[in-house]
Structure 1
Amino acid sequence: MTTQREAISELHDAVVLWAIGYGSADDVVRAACDALAAGVDSSSLAELAGVPLRQADTAVHGPLPAALNELGLPSYSQGSRESEVAALRVLATRAVAGDLSPRELADWTHRTFGHDRLPLAGPLAALDDQYDMLGYGPVSPSTEATAALDAEVLAEARRLLHVPPP
């Protein structure tokens, strides 16, 4: 059973990922429903949870700010630097928890931010390049080399979680 705190955290994550285009408005509505089911009591949250999924892309904008405010969650503008940093932290958290592979984190970071767009993401983008280099040459990459690179990505993910937001 999901606790209220976990449900609110999952709503936050859904909103952050939606704000950068990685998640969907449907995910936000479903997370709002889950929060209500976990016992979170908020009239704005109930309004957000009541958004029809087929209209979520447009209708979620109305009740979302009030719901986030009532729950004490930050509101991110879509595509903002703050939403990008928050999304990077959400996925870093998932990688540290084992819900996302280190390779997937590095790849997503590199594809999303490149090397220069978000300086905080630069080290992960560089580690993605190292994964790519493991695949070149006549010999398949060793399990030890891949494991060492995975460990570096996870260490960087942990560092990101402890760096104050810009």
Structure 2
Amino acid sequence: MGERSDGDVVLAACDLVVAGIDGPGVSALAGVSLRRPWDEIQPLLGDALLELGLDHHEHNSNEGKALGLRLMARRTLAGELSARELAAWVHDRFGHGLPAAEELARLDDEYDILEYDDRATTDVDEQVMAEVRRITS
């Protein structure tokens, strides 16, 4: 989702190996050069994720985007992101092009027009959080 760099993925694999989670896929990923990780990561990532019991979605697939949306919604529920930050992130990443995120993109537009109507930011925040709960349920 563009939230972490390729180097971060390699370093995470290194952390897994140090923690004793070192199957062949994870170990291969941990061995990727940090100088040009983007050249080597893609063919190794699927095997490493499979080994970890995690789903692998092709880069830029709708399934991957929907999973990223759910993860960011969970971060919002945990208080790591505000409702407005999530709506802005969704609008920036997906625009109005991902059906699962459309309502959050629309609500980001609502934040932008609050200064022209009589609603409070908390009104839109509540709508975002209702959508977050729907996405994470």
What TM-score bracket applies, with the shorter chain setting the length? 0.7 to 0.9
Q: Which runs of 4+ in 1 moved over 3 A?
A: none
Deviation at 1:22, TM superposition (A): 4.2
TM-score (norm 2): 0.87
**CA deviation digits over 1:23-78, x for unaligned, max 9?**
32122112222333333232221221121221211111232121111112111111
CA distance in 1, matches of 2:27, 2:19: 12
Matches within 5 A, 1:123-138: 123-136=103-116
Match of 1:121? 101
Deviation at 1:135, TM superposition (A): 3.2
CA distance in 2, matches of 1:130, 1:157: 16
Matches within 5 A, 1:45-124: 45-115=26-96, 117-124=97-104
| Residues 55, 41 of structure 1: alpha-carbon distance in 2 compared, 3 angstrom cutoff | same
Q: Which stretches in structure 2 are left out of the alignment for 5+ residues? A: none
CA distance in 2, matches of 1:39, 1:160: 34
Tell me which amino acid in the other structure corresponds to 2:40.
A
**Match status 1:151 vs 2:121:** no
Is the partner of 1:47 in helix, strand or coil?
helix
The alignment-based identity, stated in percent, is 47
Aligned length: 137
Is the partner of 1:26 in helix, strand or coil?
helix
Tell me which amino acid in the other structure corresponds to 1:118.
L
**Aligned alpha-carbon RMSD (Å):** 2.0
CA distance in 1, matches of 2:18, 2:84: 34
